Every structure is written in C-alpha cells, then in structure tokens.
Amino acid sequence: MNNSHFVTSSLLTIPALLLHVLAMPVFFLGFILVYESSWQMEFLNAGLGVVFNTLMLMCILIGVLCASRIPMTATRKHLHLAWWQYGLWSLAELIVFACFAALYMALVYGDYGYFPALAQCMRLGFATLLYPYVVFALLMAVVRPDNQGATEENLVRFADSTGRLKLVIAYDVILYVEAQENYVSIHYLEGEQPKEYSLRQSMRGIEELMERHGIVRCQRSYFVNPRHVKVLRRDKEGIIQAELDVQSIKSVPVSPKYYEALSQLL
C-alpha cells in the first residue's frame, strides 16, 4: 500500500502560515532581547538602539514571510513541493530577509556599508531563525491534518474486484484513472514523480468511490481529478482535452457529455 503526502498539504496550511508569520518574528525578537549575545547587541546598538532596531527587523521579517507564505498557501492545491524544494524556499526566505535587513542597518549606520551589514544580517538571521524553521517544520509534519482523525476522509482506498484492499492514497495526489480492459490504471503523484498502479477492477466498480472523493468522470474510460486540471482545450481535431498541471502527464480526453459539469468545477 502507498500513502503519499505533499509538503504543501502539511506545511502550507493556514495554521502553518500563521505559525510562520506570527510566531517566527516573535521568536526572533525574544531570542535577541533575552539571549543578548554580545556581537548581536553590538551590531544592533545603532541609531535608536537595540530594541528599536530589533523591532524594525522583526517587521521586515513579517513582510518577507507574508510575501512568501501567503501565495504559497493560496496555491497549495496546485503547488507540489518536494522536501528539498521546500528547504530551498525556506533558505531563500532567510536570504531575502537578510538582504532587506542589511539595507535598513546600512541606512541606520550611514557609513557602515551594505555588504558588511549583509554579512552581519546573514549571520544574525541564520543564528536566530534556523532553529525555529526546523522545529516548526517538524511540528507541522507531526500535527498536520492528514495525520489526524479527519484524514480518513481524505484517503482513497482502492480494492480489487474480489474486495481485497490494494492501494491507499490521498485523494489530492490522484491525477486520473483510466480503464484498461479488465483493469483500471490509477495515475498519481508520489512526491513529484508520476506513478501508475494497475488494479483489477472496473470503472463501474470504483465509480461511487471516485464520486465520493470529488474525482469525476470525464469520458467513458476516464475519471479525472479536477484539482489537477489546469485548462480544458479543444485540439485541431475538435476533441476536448483536459490539460493537467503535471507536464510529463498526457492530456485526458473529455467527452461533450461531461464537459459542462467538469468546467464548472474548475
């Protein structure tokens, strides 16, 4: 059995967004003011002082996190990130924060210079934020919705024609299901990689299961997951095709009978 989950389904939920946008800056502020590292205090003690500068850097951090996390959360249904991609995205957030923080600190000092300030802000950002980034990621992975009781509703349990359970996957990773003689071919994503599973079953035998999870029939031999349909288009021969949001996956044919119902779901 296979149970695949995207990083986006666990780390880009609304609670994760609030955790990063609110708790991360608060941790940043508290760490600097409570720990009082000598080099941090020396670097931040310019202009109106440590507290004011730390508050300004905290506001910059909030702005960077909002600009990054809100679009990610809003597009989580169509954004599929592997763990290493999420890590690179988080790293980019820290670097962007350091760049803007260095601009502020260089203005505060006047003659300090941008690149020396950037080096200090990179050091400051990684020293204070790397730990909560890792902890928050692990925390959200542990308490993510798909690990809780309600998750059972998000799992699709495929049984063969004899009733034996063969495959369990989250509904949002299913791309489409195709009929192949006495089998159905289930196309889904595992991480970023398209996978295929052949199940000895009929389209009629899984129709109720598909409808229950919002995976709709688009043609006599196909079910498609509307969450992964990027666009419906008509090819040169006049055949309607559902183009999916995974480039390596072929388009799925849509019959005129199901076109209207599918288009309303997009």
59 contacts: CB under 8 Å, gap ≥ 6: 25
Q: In the predicted model, what is the mean pLDDT of residues 153-178?
A: 89
Determine how many CB atoms are found less than 10 A away from the CB of residue 147: 12
CA distance linking residue 229 with residue 239, whole number of Å: 16
- Residue 59: pLDDT band by 50, 70, 90 thresholds? very high
Phi, psi of 40 (to 5 degrees): -70, -45
CA distance linking residue 156 with residue 75, whole number of Å: 23
Query: Domain locations in the chain?
Result: 7-147, 152-265
Q: In the predicted model, what is the mean pLDDT of residues 67-92?
A: 80
CA distance linking residue 41 with residue 21, whole number of Å: 24
Q: In the predicted model, what is the mean pLDDT of residues 228-253?
A: 85
Examine the pLDDT at 1 and tell me if it is beyond 50. Answer: no
Q: In the predicted model, what is the mean pLDDT of residues 80-96?
A: 85
For 152-265, CATH gives: 2.40.50.1020
Q: In the predicted model, what is the mean pLDDT of residues 210-231?
A: 90
153 contacts: CB under 8 Å, gap ≥ 6: none
Q: What DSSP state is assigned to residue 118?
A: H
Q: In the predicted model, what is the mean pLDDT of residues 8-20?
A: 73
- Residue 248: pLDDT band by 50, 70, 90 thresholds? confident
